[in-house]
Amino acid sequence: MVKGYLLSAFSSSRDLFAHDGRLIISHGGGKAESLHTKQGKIQTLEADDQLAGDKSVRALLNTYAVGRPVVLLIDDKYTLFPHNLAGDGYTYVVLGFYKIVHAWAEKQAATNSRGYVVRYKFAFQWCEAQGKPWWIDAGHSRGA
């Protein structure tokens, strides 16, 4: 089961922050292309397919199946958020409670040997019982 989910710098294609943040679509589960150091040399590891049985994907799918709300957090590198958190002096903020309302796998272009990877996407919907999202009328700036 997932209790919290961090949205950060590496949005993937078709990730979304819509309806004033009441609907967020994000990929989850890791296996993105990454840099690693081995014996003092930097190596690029290819992106790989996410599988339903992968630990983090499985946890998100289980949370979706039981309908348990998840706390979404973002950091100042999450580019889909419409305000400049770093400019306002914040590194991390809690958005609020969301329910996973849909989950699916889709192909996404990648620079690996096949030219694509399978990514799991999750649609998070704002839990209306908590009122209006705090950032809607908060007056935050988006400046650089």
Q: For residue 20, give both structure tokens.
A: 């004033």
Q: What's residue 141's pLDDT? A: 44
Does 66 fall in a domain?
Answer: yes
Does 98 fall in a domain?
Answer: yes
| Regions of the chain with pLDDT less than 50 | 141-144
Does 29 fall in a domain?
Answer: yes
Q: What's residue 42's pLDDT? A: 87
Question: How many domains is the chain partitioned into structurally?
Answer: 1
Dist. CA 137–CA 129, nearest whole Å: 18
Is residue 6 within a helix (H) or strand (E), and if so which, with residue range? strand 4-7
Q: What's residue 113's pLDDT? A: 83
Q: What's residue 138's pLDDT? A: 66
Boundaries of domain holding 94: 4-33+41-129
Does 139 fall in a domain?
Answer: no
CATH number, domain containing residue 66: 2.30.280.10
Dist. CA 80–CA 109, nearest whole Å: 20
**What does the pLDDT look like over 60-89, one tens digit per residue?**
999 999 999 999 999 999 999 998 999 999
Does 23 fall in a domain?
Answer: yes
**Quick one: CA dihedral 19, 73, 80, 55, positive or negative?**
negative
Q: What's residue 142's pLDDT? A: 45
Does 57 fall in a domain?
Answer: yes
